[in-house]
């Protein structure tokens, strides 16, 4: 018998297909067809969705790992992962200026690959008694830098060619893609962590979770390779 999670996942997929079909057939869809005709918008939205499958669930994975495997207290876990938002803040402040100079693709792809490398580092170093400075900090810095250089640049790329009349809708679609993928990504990570036949999560389950996070970020970087290398003129529609 299929599990409730399988039913929910299947209903989500079906709902997305139904909504997409409705938009494609309706004379006045909620997402204008002119917007969907812009390649940079479509690519950025898809890359944002895929990256969001790992972006949102990374913090949950880290907190659960630190609390359940490394035996950190709640306060210790919070302080431990503070390196991640600090790195993301610094990275996001720099990535916008770099994207203006070198283009969206040149910044978004390396940023998401840094997230991938950070996730792989954490997978390799995930043990029951990690050394914070050696085992965790490098991975947190890589992941945080990737978060600061990935989603913000994808958001900018998504609206770079959008006419002002569709700007708010384009932003809403991007945010919806992020929120939807975040919910799905968290569900996938929880399923991975609890998939082992034991009462509590194991080191191996978290290693698989970090590998999943690395994989979706790598896939998003492949999709982002089709973004324009430079800022292009806005569409007239």
Supply the pTM of this predicted model.
0.85
**Residue 197 pLDDT:** 63
**Residue 2 pLDDT:** 57
CA distances from 207 to 2, 192, 196, 199, 204 (A): 26, 10, 12, 17, 5
Domain 53-224 has CATH 1.20.1250.20: yes
d(CA 107, CA 92): 11
* In the predicted structure, residue 235 carries a pLDDT above the cut 60: no
Q: How many CA within 13 A on the CB side of residue 86?
A: 9
Q: Cβ distance 200 to 68 under 8 Å?
A: yes
Mean pLDDT of the chain: 86
DSSP 126: -
**Residue 224 pLDDT:** 93
Q: Rg of the chain over CA atoms, in angstroms?
A: 19
* In the predicted structure, residue 92 carries a pLDDT above the cut 90: yes
Tens digits of per-residue pLDDT, 211-222?
999 999 999 999
Tens digits of per-residue pLDDT, 165-175?
778 888 888 88
DSSP alpha helix (H) spans, the chain = 4-25, 33-36, 39-68, 74-80, 83-102, 104-125, 137-149, 151-159, 167-193, 203-224
For residues 38 and 80, the model is more confident at: 80
If pLDDT is split at 50, 70 and 90, which confidence band does 144 have? very high
Q: Is 126 left (phi over 0), alpha (psi -120 to 50) or beta?
A: beta
Domain assignments of the chain as residue spans, ordered by start: 53-224
């Amino acid at each position: 018998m299929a599990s409730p999670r399988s039913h929910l996942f299947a209903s989500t997929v079906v709902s997305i297909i139904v909504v997409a079909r409705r938009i494609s057939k309706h004379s006045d869809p909620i997402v204008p067809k002119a917007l969907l005709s812009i390649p940079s918008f479509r690519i950025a939205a898809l890359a944002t969705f895929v990256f969001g499958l790992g972006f949102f669930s990374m913090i949950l994975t880290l907190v659960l790992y630190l609390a359940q495997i490394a035996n950190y207290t709640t306060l210790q876990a919070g302080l431990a992962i503070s390196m991640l938002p600090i790195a993301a803040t610094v990275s996001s402040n720099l990535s916008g200026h770099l994207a203006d100079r070198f283009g969206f693709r040149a910044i978004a792809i390396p940023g998401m690959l840094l997230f991938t490398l950070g996730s792989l580092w954490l997978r390799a170093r995930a043990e029951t008694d990690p050394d914070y400075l050696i085992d965790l900090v490098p991975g947190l810095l890589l992941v945080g830098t990737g978060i600061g250089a990935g989603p913000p640049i994808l958001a900018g790329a998504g609206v770079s060619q959008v006419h002002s009349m569709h700007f708010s809708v384009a932003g809403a679609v991007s945010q919806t893609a992020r929120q939807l993928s975040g919910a799905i990504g968290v569900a996938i990570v929880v399923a991975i962590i609890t998939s082992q036949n034991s009462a509590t999560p194991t080191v191996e389950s978290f290693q698989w979770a970090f590998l999943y996070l690395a994989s979706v970020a790598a896939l998003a970087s492949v999709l982002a390779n089709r973004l324009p290398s430079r800022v292009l003129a806005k569409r007239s529609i």
